[in-house]
């Protein structure tokens, strides 16, 4: 089998994956900030790194996957105030919705899902360690990280200090020794969540949350840190700096970042009115269609979400599930056959588009075969290969029933039988009309060696 290779943002190169401990692979992914429903761009890393999780579980005996929940944030405070809800009510509601949506798009539960508000003590402990080591200082109720104290700051994002000073993200404030320094702890205004600390009543900065939680669940150094490309700077850069300042080592050996998601060629923004929440997308599309779309472009590339792309994804899944319908024995569809083709595709830096092509090649073999025993074996292989990327988890009958509301399955079968009779009587005009009528109801039929198959468009 091919050796696992991953593109490491830290080295800007494709590298062989060499684990710290092959008996326990450790991975951390930045999870949601729970102030509102996640949008489809937020769903992309959840699906991509779910595939990585599934792959690692195939390759190693144990995988510890930590994905945090940020439930203390200024956006949460603002939204709760606008909605006239308590912060707990808002965060609990959004977390419940997040979990429901993750299940619908086939994302497996993670090993650890720490909430920031449950780990304030760990954050304060790390902040104190940074002060002791000279990497942080107190000022006017704040605690800040000394960026210039870390000589390698910028090693992940490849930015130099002069560029950062000129950048718009650098905040000039009276409590800072240097404009580059970032907040580890800050005071809370009246009505804003606050915790007691040696530095005064306040709340943590965003970056320290992930550093403290990854340290608690994965240790001072772990294998993989992953997230969206937009998090590389300043969030991941600052996480790396904090952990280096506290423990004297780079926190993760491999840093993996997925590309952006556009909508019809444009960046999602409220001003353009093109933000698509995952909840809204799930009202319109089956969760497996959304997952297929998110896997259809290589994770490092920009993905452009369009109606055409979602329609193609649905047709592709119809074709794959249609192949499974040709299996004569349900016991053969449980995924007992094994192949290295999908695993090899994923070992090549999570090449999900190639993995999808593998599934369609197997489906093509099923459609071309007239040997029922071979079809059953191929169906089992198709299920097994698809499981590695979290697809084809349902029975084919259920898929077509759930994804077709214009006509019943019994009616489809009746019309197919009527068309067969028309063809046998050389009434091709009627046969073509039946095909057209079915197509108008989003049902496509296909004549195969085993009879006539149908799928929902």
pLDDT by residue (tens digit) across 378-410? 999 999 999 999 999 999 888 887 775 557 777
Which pLDDT value is given to residue 65? 98
pLDDT band of 269, cuts 50, 70, 90: confident
Once rounded to an integer, what is the mean pLDDT over residues 190-208? 94
How many angstroms separate the CA atoms of 253 and 15, rounded? 11
Mean pLDDT for 34-52 is: 96
State the Cα angle at 380 between 103 and 452, rounded to 5°. Answer: 95
pLDDT for the residue numbered 359: 97
Segment among 184-193, 247-256, 335-344, 379-388 with least mean pLDDT: 335-344
- 335 has a pLDDT exceeding 60: no
> What's the rounded Cα separation, in Å, for the pair 396 and 455?
10
Q: Mean pLDDT over all residues of the chain?
A: 92
pLDDT > 70: what percent of the chain? 94
Query: What is d(CA 151, CA 146) in angstroms, rounded to the nearest whole number?
Result: 11
pLDDT value, residue 332: 46
Strand-pairing partners, residue 454, are: 445
3-state SS string over the chain?
A: CCCCEEEECCCCEEEECCCCCCCCEEEEECCCECCCCCEHHHHHHHHHHHHHHHHHHHHCCCEEEEECEECCCHHHHHHHHHHCCCHHHHHHHHHHHHHHHHHHCCCCCCCECCEHHHCHHHHHHHHHHHHHCCCEEEECCEEEECHHHCCCCCCCCCCCHHHHHHCCCCCCCCCCCCCCCEEEEEECCCCCCCECCCCCCEEECHHHHHHHHHHHHHCCCEEEEEEEHHHHHHHHHHHHHHHHHHHCCCCEEEEEEECCEEECCEECCCCCCCCCEHHHHHHHCCHHHHHHHHHCCCCCCCEEECHHHHHHHHHHHHHHHHHHCCCCCHHHHCCCCCCCHHHHHHHECCCHHHHHHHHHHHHHHHHHCCCHHHHHHHHHHHHHHHHCCCCCCCCHHHHHHHCCCCCCHHHHHHHHHHHHHHHHCCCHHHHHHHHHHHHHCCEEEEEECCEEEEEEC
Residue 330: per-residue pLDDT: 55
- Give the tens place of pLDDT for each residue, 16-26: 999 999 999 99
Rounded Cα distance between 45 and 245, Å, is 28
DSSP state of 248: S
**pLDDT tens column, 111-136:** 999 999 999 999 999 999 999 999 99
Mean pLDDT, rounded, for 421-447: 84
- pLDDT for 165 equals 64
pLDDT at 453: 81
pLDDT tens column, 343-385:
999 999 999 999 999 999 999 999 999 999 999 999 999 999 9
CB of 100 closer than 8 Å to CB of 43: no
In the chain, the N- to C-terminal Cα span, in Å, equals: 36
Give the distance, in angstroms, between the CA of residue 267 and the centroid of all CA atoms in the same chain: 18
Q: Is the pLDDT of residue 171 over 70?
A: no
Coil, strand or helix: which one is 303? strand
- 163 pLDDT exceeds 80? no
- Determine the Cα–Cα distance for residues 425 and 409; give it in Å rounded to an integer: 24
Residue 257 has pLDDT above 90, yes or no: yes
pLDDT at 166 over 60: no
Give dist(CA 304, CA 168) in Å, integer. 27
């Amino acid at each position: 089998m091919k050796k696992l290779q991953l593109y490491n943002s830290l080295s800007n190169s494709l590298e062989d994956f060499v684990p710290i401990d092959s008996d326990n692979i450790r991975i951390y992914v930045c999870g949601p900030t729970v102030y509102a429903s996640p949008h489809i761009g937020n769903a992309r890393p959840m699906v991509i790194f779910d595939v990585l999780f599934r792959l690692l579980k195939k390759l190693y005996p144990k995988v510890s996957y930590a994905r945090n929940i940020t439930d203390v944030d200024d956006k949460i405070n603002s939204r709760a105030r606008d909605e006239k809800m308590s912060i707990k009510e808002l965060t609990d509601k959004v977390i419940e919705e997040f979990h429901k949506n993750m299940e619908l798009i086939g994302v497996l539960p993670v090993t650890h899902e720490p909430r920031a508000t449950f780990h304030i003590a760990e954050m304060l402990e790390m902040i104190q360690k940074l002060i002791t080591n000279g990497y942080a200082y107190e000022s006017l109720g704040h605690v800040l990280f000394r960026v210039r104290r870390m000589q390698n700051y910028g090693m992940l994002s490849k930015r130099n200090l002069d560029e950062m000073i000129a950048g718009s993200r650098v905040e000039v404030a009276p409590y800072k020794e240097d404009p580059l320094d970032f907040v580890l702890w800050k005071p809370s205004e009246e009505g804003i969540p606050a915790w007691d600390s040696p530095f005064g009543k306040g709340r943590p900065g965003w970056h320290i949350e992930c550093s403290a939680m990854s340290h608690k669940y994965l240790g001072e150094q772990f294998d993989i840190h992953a997230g969206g490309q937009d998090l590389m700077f300043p969030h991941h850069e600052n996480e790396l700096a904090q952990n280096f300042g506290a423990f004297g080592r780079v926190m993760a050996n491999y840093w993996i970042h997925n590309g952006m998601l556009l909508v019809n060629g444009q960046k999602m923004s409220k001003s353009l009115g093109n933000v698509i929440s995952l909840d809204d997308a799930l009202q319109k599309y089956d969760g497996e269609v959304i997952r297929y779309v998110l896997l259809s472009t290589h994770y490092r590339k920009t993905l452009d979400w369009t109606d055409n792309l979602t329609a193609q994804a649905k047709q592709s899944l119809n074709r794959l599930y249609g192949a499974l319908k040709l299996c004569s024995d349900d016991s053969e569809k449980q995924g007992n056959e094994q192949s290295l083709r999908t695993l090899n595709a994923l070992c090549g830096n999570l090449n999900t588009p190639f993995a999808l092509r593998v599934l369609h090649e197997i489906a093509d073999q099923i459609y071309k075969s007239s040997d029922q025993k071979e079809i059953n074996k191929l169906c089992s292989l198709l299920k097994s290969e698809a499981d590695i990327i979290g697809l084809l988890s349902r029975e084919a009958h259920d898929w077509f029933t759930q994804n077709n509301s214009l006509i019943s399955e019994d009616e489809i079968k009746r019309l197919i039988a009527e068309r067969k009779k028309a063809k046998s009587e050389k009434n091709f005009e009627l046969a073509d009309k039946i095909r057209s009528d079915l197509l108008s109801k989003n049902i496509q039929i296909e004549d195969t060696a085993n009879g006539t198959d149908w799928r929902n468009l």
